[in-house]
Amino acid sequence: MRRSPLAIAAMALALGAVSAEAQAPLKIGYINSQEVLANSAEAAAAQQRFDSEMQGYQAEIQQLEQELTGLQESLQRQQLTLSPDARQAREEQLQSRLAQYQQRTAQLSQIAEQRRAELIEPIMDRINTIIETVRAEGQYHLILDVAAGAIVAADPALDVTPQVIARLGPQPGPGPGGAR
C-alpha cells in the first residue's frame, strides 16, 4: 500500500496525460490508512491476539535479560578477587551469553514480524478490496494514502476514509485496542 512520493507523482502525471487525452477531469481521493485500521474491529482483534501470543516471548526475553544482568553484576562484584584466568573465563561466558541473547532476540523479532504479517494480511486484503470498490463506484482515478506522507495538502471533500470505515462493519468498542 505504501508508495514513494516519486512513484505517486509519476502515477499522477501518467493519469493526467491519460485524462487529458480523454478530456475527462482527473478525480483523486485519499484515505488515512491509520484511521481505517484504528476503526477496524478485525484489526483490533488481530492486535489483541498478537499481543497475547507474544507474551511468552516477552517473558523469555526478560528472563534472558535478568540472567545477563546477574552475570554482569556477579563479575563486577568478584572482579578483584578473581584470578586473571578466571576473570577472562567469566568475561568470555558473559560475552557468549550476550551473543546468545542477541541471536534469540533477533529470532523472536523475526517470528513476531512474520506472525503480525500473517494476522494482518487478510485484513489488508479486505480493506484493499473495499478501497478498490469505493474507487470504482466513486469513479476516482487515483486514491492516495495520507498516512504514507505523500499528501502535502488536500481538499477534505476528497477523503474517502469514512466510506472505507463504514464498509468495514461494526466499530471496535471501548477497551484494549478499541479506544482512540
Q: pLDDT 10s per residue in the chain (180 long)?
A: 455 554 555 455 555 555 445 567 888 899 999 999 999 999 999 999 999 999 999 999 999 999 999 999 988 888 888 899 998 999 999 999 999 999 999 999 999 999 999 999 999 999 989 999 998 898 888 888 989 887 755 677 888 999 999 999 876 666 554 444
Q: Identify the pLDDT of residue 19.
A: 47
174 within a domain of the structure (yes/no) = no
65 within a domain of the structure (yes/no) = yes
Which contacts (CB < 8 Å, 24+ apart) does range 94-99 have?
A: 94/68, 97/67, 97/68, 97/71, 98/68
CB 160 within 8 A of CB 154: no
Residues 50, 51, 53, 57, CA torsion sign: positive
128 within a domain of the structure (yes/no) = yes
- Check which CATH number belongs to the domain holding 109 and give it: 3.30.910.20
pTM of the model: 0.66
**What is residue 30's three-state secondary structure?**
strand
Q: How far is CA 86 from the centre of its chain?
A: 46
175 within a domain of the structure (yes/no) = no
176 within a domain of the structure (yes/no) = no
60 within a domain of the structure (yes/no) = yes
The four Cα atoms 62, 114, 150, 27 give a dihedral, to 10 degrees, of: -140
Give the count of domains, the chain. Answer: 1
134 within a domain of the structure (yes/no) = yes
Q: Closest by alpha carbon to 134, among 160, 173, 107?
A: 160
Q: Identify the pLDDT of residue 63.
A: 95
173 within a domain of the structure (yes/no) = no
**Domain encompassing residue 142:** 5-168
